[in-house]
C-alpha cells in the first residue's frame, strides 16, 4: 500500500485516521471526542444509539475534516463495522439493530461526494479489519491470521479476508437449550457465554471482572461455585469455537484481543483445545494475547480497502 488511504472503525465510537505505509500518518479523530489516552465511554452520543444516516454523515464529515487538515487526497476509504457485511451492505448487526440492511458504503460515499470529496468506499467486518491491522503491524501480510475480539460481543477476524459470513462469535458451542444469552437471540452461541453483555445477564449480582476474580481466589472456602464452574465453561466455549475454525481452516496462531482478553488463562484454554483437536495434522495451534486499539483497526481497514480498490 503506497497511496494514502483513510481507515475508519465504528463500534461504541467512530475513529478515523490517515494511513500511509501501514501506519497512521496523523493523529486519529474520534467521535465522541476524547482526550488523548482516555478510553471510549458509552453515553448519549454513543454509536449504539445513533441512526445510520447520522453515523454515515458523521464518518463523512470526519474524513473531509481530516483530509482538509492534512491537505491530502486519499485513494480510498475502508470502514470496519460490526456485523455480517457483504457488498457494502450491513446484512445484520445483532448489537446495533438499527444497522440491519444499511448500505453504509454507499451512504458514506454519497455524503463524501456531496462534500466535494468523491472517493471509493469499502465496508468490512470490524474483526476482519483488526486481523488485517495486526498482519500489517507485525509484518505477517503473507500469513493466515485469525483474531478473537472479546468485548461487548465476540468477533472473529480473518486475514487474508475471504468471502463468506464469518460470524464466528455465533458458532454453536453447546446444545444446552437454556443457553439463550446471545444478543442475536440464538441458542448455544459462543457470544452467549463469552460476551460481556451475556455475562452480565447471566450473573445479575456480579460484574464479569468479579466473576473471574472470585473463581481464582486462593482460599477455596471463599470461592463461589457458580464462578468456578463458569470460568471453566467460558474457556471451554472459546476452545470449542477455535477448534471449529481449525477443523475448517487448519491450525495456526490465534490472537486474543479486546477488553475481556484479560480474563483468558492461556494454560486452561490450550488444554481444552488440545482435548478437542486430536488429529495430528491439525495440532500445533497457539494462542497469544495482544493489546490492540483503534489505530491497529484503522490501519487494517485501510489495508483491506487498498486490496479491494482497483
User: What pLDDT, on the 0 to 100 scale, is given for residue 43?
Assistant: 41
User: What pLDDT, on the 0 to 100 scale, is given for residue 49?
Assistant: 83
Can you give the pTM of this predicted structure? 0.85
**Helix residue spans in 142-190 (DSSP H):** none
User: What pLDDT, on the 0 to 100 scale, is given for residue 172?
Assistant: 98
Asked if 156 and 245 count as a contact pair (C-beta separation under 8 A), the reply is: yes
CA distance 257 to 261: 5
Specify the residue for cell string 461455585. 225
Among candidate residues 219, 228, 237, the one with its CA nearest the CA of residue 276: 237
Q: What is the pLDDT of residues 90-119, one digit of tens each?
A: 999 877 889 999 999 999 999 999 999 999
Q: What is the pLDDT of residues 32-49, one digit of tens each?
A: 886 555 554 444 347 778
CA distance 257 to 233: 19
Q: What is the pLDDT of residues 198-223, one digit of tens each?
A: 999 999 999 999 999 999 999 999 99
For the residues 267-274, what does the mean pLDDT come to? 98
User: What pLDDT, on the 0 to 100 scale, is given for residue 41?
Assistant: 44
Q: Give Dmax (Cα) for the chain.
A: 67
What are the grid coordinates assigned to 53, written together? 444516516
Three-state DSSP class for residue 125:
strand
High-pLDDT (> 90) share of the chain, %: 79
Enumerate domains of the chain plus CATH numbers.
5-132+293-308 (3.30.420.40), 141-289 (3.30.420.40)
User: What pLDDT, on the 0 to 100 scale, is given for residue 42?
Assistant: 41
Amino acid at each position: 500500500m503506497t497511496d494514502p488511504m483513510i481507515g475508519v472503525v465504528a463500534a461504541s465510537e467512530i475513529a478515523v485516521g490517515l494511513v500511509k505505509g501501514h501506519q497512521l500518518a496523523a493523529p486519529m479523530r474520534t467521535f465522541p471526542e476524547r482526550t488523548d489516552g482516555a478510553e471510549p465511554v458509552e453515553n448519549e452520543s454513543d454509536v449504539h444509539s445513533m441512526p445510520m444516516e447520522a453515523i454515515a454523515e458523521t464518518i463523512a464529515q470526519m474524513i473531509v475534516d481530516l483530509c482538509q487538515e492534512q491537505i491530502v487526497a486519499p485513494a480510498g476509504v475502508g470502514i470496519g463495522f460490526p456485523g455480517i457485511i457483504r457488498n457494502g451492505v450491513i446484512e445484520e448487526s445483532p448489537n446495533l439493530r438499527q444497522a440491519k440492511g444499511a448500505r453504509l458504503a454507499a451512504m458514506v460515499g454519497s455524503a463524501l461526494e456531496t462534500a466535494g470529496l468523491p472517493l471509493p468506499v469499502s465496508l468490512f467486518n470490524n474483526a476482519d479489519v483488526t486481523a488485517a491491522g495486526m498482519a500489517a503491524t507485525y509484518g505477517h501480510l503473507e500469513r493466515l491470521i485469525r483474531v478473537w475480539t472479546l468485548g461487548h460481543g465476540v468477533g472473529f477476524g480473518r486475514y487474508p479476508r475471504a468471502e463468506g459470513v464469518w460470524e464466528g462469535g455465533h458458532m454453536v458451542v453447546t446444545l444446552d437449550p437454556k443457553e439463550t444469552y446471545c444478543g442475536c437471540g440464538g441458542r448455544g452461541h459462543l457470544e452467549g457465554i463469552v460476551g460481556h453483555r451475556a455475562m452480565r445477564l447471566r450473573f445479575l449480582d456480579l460484574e464479569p471482572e468479579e466473576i473471574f476474580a472470585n473463581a481464582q481466589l486462593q482460599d477455596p472456602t471463599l470461592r463461589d461455585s457458580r464462578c468456578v464452574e463458569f470460568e471453566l465453561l467460558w474457556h471451554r466455549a472459546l476452545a470449542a469455537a477455535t477448534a471449529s475454525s481449525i477443523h475448517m481452516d487448519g491450525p495456526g496462531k490465534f490472537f486474543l484481543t479486546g477488553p475481556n482478553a484479560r480474563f483468558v488463562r492461556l494454560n486452561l484454554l490450550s488444554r481444552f483445545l488440545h482435548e478437542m483437536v486430536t488429529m495430528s495434522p491439525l495440532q500445533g495451534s497457539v494462542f497469544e494475547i495482544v493489546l490492540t486499539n483503534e489505530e491497529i483497526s484503522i490501519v487494517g481497514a485501510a489495508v483491506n480497502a487498498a486490496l479491494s480498490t482497483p
